[in-house]
Structure 1
Amino acid sequence: MGKKVANMAEQITLLEAKLQNTEKDAQELRSLIGGTPRVAFSAALRDSGSGDIGPFSTNTPLKYKNVFSNTGNSYNNSTGIFTVMVKGMYFFRFSMFNILASAPNSVVGLMKNGERQISVWGRSGFNANVMGSNAVVIPLEVGDNVYIELYAHTKVYDNGMNYNTFSGFLLFTM
């Protein structure tokens, strides 16, 4: 029985040492990131080339391929979708550009889990070009998806000048 107690005491001592090391590691990580998760991304529509994107017969998520930053790896440039990994209040901004010498119009919207939050619309025939932007602050839960959708039968244009952009970042956790 005495050996068992001594063995358990030794195991407790080892566990206490591991716990202290884990607490030290956690404290060091908090100091590196300021104790706050960091989530931010910014991307432009094209990584090369020029031309229209669209029109499509259905609403279609835009895939912003030229990623400037993606801290937290929440934005996927293969799908164009930002997936929330940290619950909190987020800021998103997007811009839209099109050469509107002829139809069709341009309409893009920021979507949260398939529901439109905000939009930008450009009408053909009035100007040679149209550009617009919009922004929103919204609460998001882990697993929520945010993306920019090009509406059916509309188009946007880019020529490598990064006119069409999509950015977002975590304001604070909740």
Structure 2
Amino acid sequence: MGGAYIILLACCASCYAASDLEIFQSLVLDRLNTLEGRVAEQNGLITSQQSVIEALLKTVFSKDEELKDIIHRPSRFVLESGDGPVAFTAAIQPRVQDHVGANATVKFETVITNLGGGYNNTTGVFTAPLPGLYMFSCSLLDHFDGKHGSAKLHAEIVQNDKILGRVFAHADDTNRDQGANTVFVQVNQGDRIFIRSVDNNDLALGGEMYSTFSGYLLMQL
């Protein structure tokens, strides 16, 4: 009887042990499945974020190319361009440039600024190195003292053969006179801009930096 009771207890203990092991194994499997699910969820999130990052990078690089395209667009302010700026100012330094004939190109021999190298002080002509919208201005001093030529200054700003604007001044025996004009004009590459006397066959043109010729490329087209 006693031996049978011991055997029964051993069998019961063995059953409880087997049952606890199955429960433990079930819990471990459940926890493992939960962890695997969370890992799969995280992997999905990472993949989604990678796709978002890749899309953002493509957008950034696309915008960067668009900015480069804007910067190098043909129509723009020249200060934002690698081609410019183009600007010049020249003046007549001597007290008087005497005996200037009719239809003669006025030569501003003293160069103050010549960015882009378009102005030639030997000929008095500015040749546009770039196409675009330009501003040109001219200020001329009429000189009269009876030695260097007659009074009544009449000149014009010329683009190739086209008159853009005119300058007039009329000195007398005691006073010199000043005339000026400014124009904005579209210019093609290679166009020639210069100042030309009109109808005075013996003009005395005042200097001392009073007479100047300037131009500036505002926007390349």
TM-score (norm 2): 0.57
Q: Secondary structure at the match of 2:81?
A: coil
Question: Structure 1 residue aligned with 2:197, among 137, 150, 153?
Answer: 150
Aligned to 1:60: 104
1:95-110 matched pairs, under 5 angstroms: 95-100=139-144, 103-110=150-157
Q: Deviations over 1:108-164 (max 9, x none)?
A: 1100002211011123448621101100000000111000112242524334x2010
Identity %: 26
Q: What is the count of residue pairs matched by the alignment?
A: 141
Q: Higher helix proportion, which one?
A: 2
CA distance in 1: counterparts of 2:89 and 2:194, whole angstroms: 12
Residue 35, structure 1, aligned to residue 59, structure 2: no
Q: Is the 8 A contact 1:101 1:124 kept in 2?
A: no
RMSD (CA atoms) = 2.4
Give the C-alpha shift of residue 50 in structure 1.
Answer: 2.6
Residue 132, structure 1, aligned to residue 179, structure 2: yes
Q: Is the 8 A contact 1:89 1:139 kept in 2?
A: yes
Aligned to 1:73: 117
Q: Higher strand proportion, which one?
A: 1
Aligned to 2:51: none
Q: Is the 8 A contact 2:151 2:172 kept in 1?
A: no
CA distance in 1: counterparts of 2:127 and 2:142, whole angstroms: 27
Label 1:154 to 1:130 Cα distance change in 2 as closer, same or farther (>3 A). Answer: farther
CA distance in 1: counterparts of 2:123 and 2:133, whole angstroms: 23
Q: Secondary structure at the match of 1:157?
A: strand
Q: Is the 8 A contact 1:107 1:154 kept in 2?
A: no
Runs of at least 5 residues in structure 2 that lack an aligned partner in the other structure: 1-71, 73-78
Q: Deviations over 1:89-122 (max 9, x none)?
A: 0000110102346643111110000221101112
TM-score (norm 1): 0.71
> Which structure has the higher relative contact order (CA within 8 Å, separation 6+)?
1
Runs of at least 5 residues in structure 1 that lack an aligned partner in the other structure: 1-29
